């Protein structure tokens, strides 16, 4: 009966073998990793402490100076815009409207003069083209006369 238990344990009880493999795996894993995670965590902790102690105060101080300067420039720009708006509101809009109407009338007159000048140029061109056509027709006629008289 004891032999039967021993045979059964050897065939179906794998705990001792598995325990050996698990111990081997854990030992290999710990030796190969060599506490890299702990070193990385210490390095990260140190970097975060440096940022907290040095970079954060420097950044905050720089932003305070920059934002104060920016705020002052924005106030100046706003004042300039308000002055321009007040000046525009205080101007005599009736005078400006009269000037616009006068410039519009002058522009219409200018366009009319340009159209008249274009028509005159077109008429002169047509007249000159007619003169040249008659001149060349006469030259061609003379050439034919000379060619017909020469044997």
Confidence of residue 131 (pLDDT cuts 50, 70, 90): very high
First to last CA, the chain: 154
Residue 51 is classified by DSSP as I
Please state the three-class secondary structure of 103-118 as a single string: HHHHHHHHHHHHHHHH
The pTM (predicted TM-score) of the whole model is 0.36
Most confident of 58-67, 78-87, 90-99, 102-111: 102-111
The two three-digit tokens of residue 24, written as one number: 């081997």
pLDDT at residue 136, as a whole number: 95
pLDDT at residue 87, as a whole number: 84
Confidence of residue 16 (pLDDT cuts 50, 70, 90): confident
Ramachandran bin of 150, using left for φ above 0, alpha for ψ from -120 to 50, beta for the remaining angles: beta
pLDDT at residue 151, as a whole number: 62
Whether 72 shows a pLDDT value over 90: the answer reads yes
């Amino acid at each position: 009966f004891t032999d039967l238990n021993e045979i059964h344990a050897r065939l179906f009880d794998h705990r001792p073998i598995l325990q050996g493999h698990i111990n081997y795996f854990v030992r290999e894993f710990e030796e190969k990793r060599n506490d890299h995670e702990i070193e990385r965590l210490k390095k990260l902790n140190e970097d975060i402490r440096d940022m907290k102690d040095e970079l954060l105060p420097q950044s905050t101080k720089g932003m305070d100076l920059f934002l104060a300067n920016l705020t002052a420039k924005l106030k100046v720009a706003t004042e300039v815009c308000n002055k321009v708006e007040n000046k525009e509101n205080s101007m005599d809009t009736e005078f400006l409207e009269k000037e616009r109407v006068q410039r519009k009338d002058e522009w219409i007159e200018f366009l009319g003069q340009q159209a008249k000048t274009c028509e005159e140029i077109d008429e002169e061109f047509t007249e000159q083209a007619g003169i040249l056509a008659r001149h060349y027709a006469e030259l061609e006629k003379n050439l034919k006369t000379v060619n017909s008289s020469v044997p």
